[in-house]
Structure 1
């Protein structure tokens, strides 16, 4: 693996065991287990619609009731004090809540202060430094309500990383971004993982997942269907089983994985 800490067997990282979530009578996750996710890795959760990817991410972030256990370096996140967990876990939702009257910088400062008291001048400087790193410093005094979807996504990333979390969870972080900002965001995730963090993202674009992920967890039917390196998981057989498509998996001139969909898969 490319990131720091990925090879250290003493680091436990993130573990999820027996995660079960139900919405009324409908089961979404059914005793799902994740393989240990190590610091230094970018892990992508992939799978078809309604596979439970976002639900799993919210359960790990302690934003969704569940049965089972989520451990971060051996500590049960459900039993961790809220302020301690706020420092340890950063979460980026699919979209920011609508109707906020804050400007972008204020929203990042508010996210920073969720982890505890910090002097105003220090909070402003820390939040501004994060926005500059992400290339969105020019948006600092813009109201959130005036930002485009892509700009709001980048502000949301700033909110998620401003407390310097050990575990970073991102729900479809590239969905509203143009290609240049997708590269910027995914490059930042690689950098954050390289500093020894655990990064877990839901991505629908398997091409992006193949290029940027160390590990892909393929979800289907409320379970982990497959897990491994992109070349181990993105195979014609697994794509047929999980997505119901006939696909070719090939390499481009630079050796990157390309997925070509030829049609729906007809079960034997």
Structure 2
């Protein structure tokens, strides 16, 4: 499996990991209408910039390789990264089978320590209900983020950008838990963890790029539907813990 990871991870680090290329960008993308993607989440840490998306008032979903330290903050309702609201601290829950620098299981939940207040600029996005592989290739998909805009220089976008992508047959995606697209349009450095949205449903998570012999980038997305049991188990477990804490405090008062 290690040989498959000769790729460009889309993490934006202050000092780039040796061997990873900076030559990628959202080619053909456009600036999103302000706050038209209210589920988008901007994520910052001491050495990382990533994207994510709000799936419940108290949970953000992103890529597990964004977990470079425990000091992550998420920012909701962002359009312009020069005008950030107060950040929210989170509890990272990376998939237990994820191994850094190895493809597969690149998914993480971030439990918000202060639940989001939903409004016109902050909303959740739906997750798939069934396994994508049972229903063929998804259509009408797009990716979005605040990542690099140019091939040849460090140029994160100040404003949210988006681009349409066409998915390939899943048999071309190397691992069983990924979806993929290919071309000169797609996510870039700094777009890790953002959603692959098809028909207003978050179907994938931006994971990594790999250069192909035809000169195109092939982008891999973690297939969210592959992890639905784990996602629901973790989110329901959190709800149960909150209920038990509330009940215990009530018992003390009584």
Shorter-normalised TM-score: what interval? under 0.3
TM-score, L = length of structure 1: 0.26
Q: Highest Rg: 1 or 2?
A: 1
TM-score, L = length of structure 2: 0.27
